[in-house]
């Protein structure tokens, strides 16, 4: 039997950048965060965020997290808007 070279059967994983805005309350202090996470989907964003929180707040017994926004980052910008404003 010949191998099937049909490219539609190949699962291509597309990694996107996601912006995650959240607040962490720990030891009666509130910390606001804005993170860029590379992931395939929202589920993977949640896993990456949990890893980030465990790494950052590993010494805290209890951490309350409020996620304000999770959205994919788009790269569609109007370059003419910045023309002449910034110079290298």
| Position 14 confidence tier, pLDDT thresholds 50, 70, 90 | confident
Counting beta carbons within 10 angstroms of the beta carbon of residue 64, is it exposed (0 to 12), middle (13 to 18) or buried (19 or more)?
exposed
Range in 13-17, 21-25, 44-48, 64-68 with the lowest mean pLDDT: 13-17
Residue 26's pLDDT is: 93
Domain boundaries, the chain: 14-73
Residues contacting 15, CB < 8 A, separation 6+? 38, 39, 40
Instruction: Check if CATH label 3.10.20.10 holds for domain 14-73.
Output: yes
The pTM of the full predicted model, rounded to 2 decimals, is: 0.69
pLDDT at residue number 61: 87
Does residue 4 carry a pLDDT above 80? no
**Predicted local distance difference test score (pLDDT) of residue 37:** 95
């Amino acid at each position: 039997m010949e191998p099937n070279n049909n490219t539609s059967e190949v699962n291509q994983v597309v990694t996107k950048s996601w912006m995650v805005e959240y607040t962490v309350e720990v030891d009666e202090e509130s910390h606001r965060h804005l993170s860029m996470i590379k992931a395939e989907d929202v589920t993977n964003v949640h896993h990456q965020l949990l890893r980030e929180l465990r790494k950052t707040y590993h010494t805290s017994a209890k951490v309350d997290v409020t996620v304000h926004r999770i959205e994919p980052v788009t790269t569609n910008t109007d370059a003419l808007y910045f023309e002449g404003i910034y110079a290298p």
